Structure 1
Amino acid sequence: MPLQDGLELLALLSMGHFLGDFGLQSDRMAAEKCRGQDATLPWQWWLTGHAAIHGLIVALLSGVPALGLAEWGAHTLIDYGKCQHRYRIGVDQSLHLLCKLLWVLLLSLWA
């Protein structure tokens, strides 16, 4: 993959991430995806649904469903760690963006 294409995909994946985390995530989902905060549905459903949105965004933007599945899993683990108070939002967001960089690097190796 040419460098310019990789940088453009990284920008799109980053924008997609912020759309998924701040535009498409409701206040209820943000709270109830954490264990002990779930009032309307079990927390696992909220977390799975939120992470699946991110997986879909990555799959659609990259054109690689396997990367969408990888994102789904990674996003679940990262958000679970944040819900367990292992780190705060700055580390959380940095880890998510590092995943996007990893997906672009993997795609450049496959190309």
Structure 2
Amino acid sequence: MHGLLPFPPHTTLEVIQVLFLLFAGHALMDYPLQGEFLSTCKNRHLLYKLQDPSRPREIWPWCMSAHCLIHAVTVWAITGCFILCVVEFVLHWIIDFAKCENWTSFTQDQALHYLCKIAYVIVAMLL
């Protein structure tokens, strides 16, 4: 399966284009397409504070996984690389869990996500 652009990129223009799409995909999935439900329900601490019977605390791992799966499939669609899809799922889960635990700030969370995208392109070019 091929992604939206040649991957791994071979020219500077391709590197810029792939990074642009990966960054745009992240922004799209993390902001308008995440929605309030996943944003709230992926965080076990927020669910505990809400005490909403329609949103039991036990749903947080499912919501976190759904959010990370959306990001992972976006990386797969852009790069055409299933291995990066799996890597993105795992790393996104860890990074967002850290943010939900207040181990990282919002800015650190976002920086880590974008650094992952840069690393994907660099590693792919080196292999």
TM > 0.5:
yes
SS in 2 for 1:77: helix
Match of 2:44 among 35, 41, 62: 35
Q: How far apart in 1 are the matches of 2:83 and 2:125?
A: 15
Q: How does 1:1-111 map to 2 (within 5 A)?
A: 1-38=10-47, 39-40=55-56, 42-110=59-127
Q: One-letter code of the match for 2:23?
A: S
Q: How far apart in 1 are the matches of 2:91 and 2:108?
A: 14
Runs of 4+ in 1 over 6 A off after TM superposition: none
Q: One-letter code of the match for 1:19?
A: L
- Identity score, percent: 31
Higher relative contact order (CA 8 A, sep 6+): 2
Q: How far apart in 2 are the matches of 1:34 and 1:47?
A: 8
Q: One-letter code of the match for 1:9?
A: V
Listed one character per residue, the Cα deviations across residues 12-57 of structure 1 (whole Å, up to 9, x for unaligned) are: 0000000110021011110110113332561000000000000000
Number of equivalent positions? 110
> How high is the TM-score relative to the length of structure 2?
0.82
Q: Output the aligned Cα RMSD.
A: 1.2
Q: How far apart in 2 are the matches of 1:100 and 1:88?
A: 19
* Structure number, greater radius of gyration: 2
